[in-house]
Amino acid sequence: MSTQITESFVSAASRAEKIADVVADITRRIDPKTTVLLNVFFSSRYPAQEMAAALQAAYPETHVIGCTTAGELSNEGFTEQAVSAFGFMKGGVSRLAVAVAENCNQNAAPISAALKKIAGELNVDLNRLAPDRYLGIVLTDGNSGHEEFVMDTLAAEAFNLTFVGGSAGDDLQFKQAFVLADGKAYSNSAVLALIETARPFTIVKTQSFRTTGRIWEVTKADPKNRIVYELDGKPAAQAYAEALSIPKEQIGDRFMSNPIGLLVGSVPFVRSPQRLEGDAIRFYCQVNEGSRVHLLESGDMVTDTRADLEKARQGLGALSGMLVFNCILRYLDAKNRNIVDQLGKTYDLAPAAGFNTYGEQYLGHINQTATVVCFS
């Protein structure tokens, strides 16, 4: 059990076996009387409905949101099979609203209804809000494959706002993940929260990949199913193997260190390969036909993360809290390199909590990235 506290934000962690003991650990550290929004991220070994109900009972006047994970993060570092929590205290939030979009796989109606509910509760026009004062949080079911659709719908209907978040995991079982809101747990759904912040914030997208100079056009793809069939008119597996000068049978060993990326300016937005399917490659997120993609190579994850967070601190003038959405592939890469402890320590600048995701939501759905909301 650990905690860090500032005036506006509090983080906590628990490794307790029983839900009652987890709740006791969190309430000891994050005061229900002064918490307006509680984010809780927990291993799928805990029954999601029981966790949701127990947390809401302990925080009856607080919005409680969260999800199941593929690992957690707090100021104590990365954990597995545990719980992390991040509390927005009264000093950090002016107003907020929470809504759930149920069964939103390729169905915009639940997302539209959730946005309408939020707008009604706050009595605002979502597209007339100042984006530097309002922060959107989105938690999605990472096994449903609906992240791109959710983010595209949010961008179309609340185009003046930025939503950031992550895809719920289930400890790499890939069977059933849950998001939770206000006492209930949901699958195939998204939880939306809109916060009018009382503190300045910035969003950091940190990833440790560089372009290699190899660029392809995606000439045949099935974006809905996240499959790429051809790159520059060649079978995708063949083109990828040729670029790395390795046999096709070995390319799966390079997926983590050499993903592909779409460049926005000079910044890569990573699309991570998942597995070979014959001569095609299935990805963890959509890659559109006709897009130009770059072969990437990995860099120094610890140094890059520390530098990006320090830049955010300098830009804000101070750092009082960090809400972290870290890709499970990034965590597994760190584990393979034996740098998990060092990477976890980069978040020891302020109260911090988050989880290992099945993908991050920020200007779309991305992989192998840590997306961090930093508050002054």
Per-residue confidence band for 276, with pLDDT thresholds at 50, 70 and 90: very high
Mean pLDDT of 45-50: 98
Cα gap 304→55, rounded to integer Å: 36
Q: Residue 66 burial by CB count (10 A; 0-12/13-18/19+): exposed, middle or buried?
A: buried
Per-residue confidence band for 363, with pLDDT thresholds at 50, 70 and 90: confident
Cα gap 22→45, rounded to integer Å: 13
Contacts of 65 (CB under 8 A, 6+ apart): 37, 38, 39, 40, 98, 137, 139, 179, 180, 181, 182, 191, 193
Cα gap 141→372, rounded to integer Å: 19
Cα gap 217→288, rounded to integer Å: 10
CA atoms within 13 A on the CB side of 77: 11
β-partners of residue 13 are: 2, 84
Structure confidence by residue, pLDDT tens digits, 190-234: 999 999 999 999 999 998 888 999 999 999 999 989 999 999 999
Cα distance between the two ends of the chain: 25
Per-residue confidence band for 106, with pLDDT thresholds at 50, 70 and 90: confident
User: Which has more pLDDT, 26 or 5?
Assistant: 26
Mean pLDDT of 338-364: 94
Give the per-residue pLDDT at 150.
95
Identify whether the C-beta of residue 353 lies closer than 8 Å to the C-beta of residue 12. yes
Give the per-residue pLDDT at 2.
46
Give the per-residue pLDDT at 5.
42
Give the per-residue pLDDT at 284.
86
Identify whether the C-beta of residue 328 lies closer than 8 Å to the C-beta of residue 169. yes
Mean pLDDT of 344-359: 95
Could you tell me the pTM of the whole model? 0.91
β-partners of residue 263 are: 268
Per-residue confidence band for 266, with pLDDT thresholds at 50, 70 and 90: confident
Cα gap 63→48, rounded to integer Å: 16
Indicate whether 6 pLDDT > 90.
no
Window from 2-11, 21-30, 105-114, 341-350 with minimum mean pLDDT? 2-11
Structure confidence by residue, pLDDT tens digits, 284-325: 888 999 999 999 998 899 999 999 999 999 999 999 999 999
What is the percent of the chain where pLDDT is above 90?
A: 84
Cα gap 328→142, rounded to integer Å: 11
Indicate whether 7 pLDDT > 90.
no
β-partners of residue 89 are: 35
Give the per-residue pLDDT at 50.
98
Listed residue (78, 77, 70, 74) closest to 42, CA to CA: 70
Give the per-residue pLDDT at 262.
87
Indicate whether 242 pLDDT > 90.
yes
Per-residue confidence band for 1, with pLDDT thresholds at 50, 70 and 90: very low
β-partners of residue 138 are: 165, 192
Give the per-residue pLDDT at 236.
95
Mean pLDDT of 255-281: 88
